[in-house]
């Protein structure tokens, strides 16, 4: 009988860390999902909504509604895949304390003000950023065009008149 109690006690003792680990993992995934939802996916939601309306803006309303419905269905599927996949990665790479610390940062009112200012397309921050990025992209486009050596007619050469 004592052997039975000893075996049961040992099994219980060994199972406790596994159960605690499962709870910790579930907690980490839950906190990570909240972080992913309010950061990465919030940005994705905003960008997708704008891109979708830009895409369907010129379509007849009947076609636009069909495209909206199909695109939204696929977007929702991909959004859920991102939420699950990224949250699991964060839960594997960060401790619960780390994730809660990050959550505190994102919940901070000053950080939210900072993010709102950066997200506002009409803010001076975005005007400055877009101007700088446009200049850099133009520079890279010109540099790439210079390496391609497009066929340019030689205007310095005298044109030959056709024989009569």
**DSSP secondary structure, 80-146, as one string:** HHHHHHHHHHHHHHS-HHHHHHHHHHHH-HHHHHHHHHHH-TTSHHHHHHHHHHHHHHHHHHHHHHH
Report how far apart, in Å, the C-alpha atoms of 115 and of each of 25, 38, 64, 75, 79 are: 29, 11, 32, 24, 21
Please indicate, yes or no, whether the overall pTM of this predicted structure exceeds 0.75: no
Q: What is the pLDDT of residue 126?
A: 82
119 neighbors 46 (Cβ within 8 angstroms): yes
Q: What tens digit of pLDDT does each residue of 10-45 get? A: 555 555 555 545 568 999 999 999 999 988 998 899
For residue range 73-93, what is the model confidence (pLDDT) as tens digits?
999 999 999 999 999 999 999
Which of the four pLDDT bands, split at 50, 70 and 90, describes residue 46?
Answer: confident
Encode pLDDT of 51-67 as tens digits.
999 999 999 999 999 99
Q: What is the pLDDT of residue 14?
A: 58
Considering 47-51, 94-98, 143-147, the range whose residues carry the highest mean pLDDT is 94-98
Q: Classify residue 91 as exposed, middle or buried by CB count within 10 Å of its CB (0-12, 13-18, 19+).
A: buried
* Cβ within 8 Å of residue 59, ≥6 positions away: 67
Place of tokens 């397309």: 121
Q: What is the pLDDT of residue 4?
A: 59
pLDDT digits (tens, 9 = 90+) for 103-157: 999 999 999 899 888 878 788 888 898 889 999 999 999 888 876 655 555 545 5
């Amino acid at each position: 009988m004592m052997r039975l109690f000893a075996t049961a006690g040992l099994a219980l003792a060994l199972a406790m860390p596994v159960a605690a680990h499962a709870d910790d993992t579930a907690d980490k995934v839950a906190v990570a999902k909240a972080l992913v939802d309010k950061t990465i996916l919030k940005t994705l939601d905003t960008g997708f909504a704008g891109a979708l309306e830009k895409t369907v803006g010129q379509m007849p309303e009947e076609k636009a509604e069909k495209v909206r419905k199909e695109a939204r269905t696929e977007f929702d599927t991909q959004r859920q895949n991102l939420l699950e996949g990224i949250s699991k990665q964060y839960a594997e790479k960060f401790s619960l304390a780390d994730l809660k610390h990050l959550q505190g940062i994102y919940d901070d009112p000053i950080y939210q003000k900072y993010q709102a200012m950066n997200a506002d397309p009409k803010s001076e921050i975005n005007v400055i950023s877009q101007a700088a990025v446009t200049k850099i992209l133009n520079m890279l486009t010109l540099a790439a065009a210079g390496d391609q050596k497009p066929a340019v007619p030689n205007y310095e050469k005298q044109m030959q008149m056709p024989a009569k």
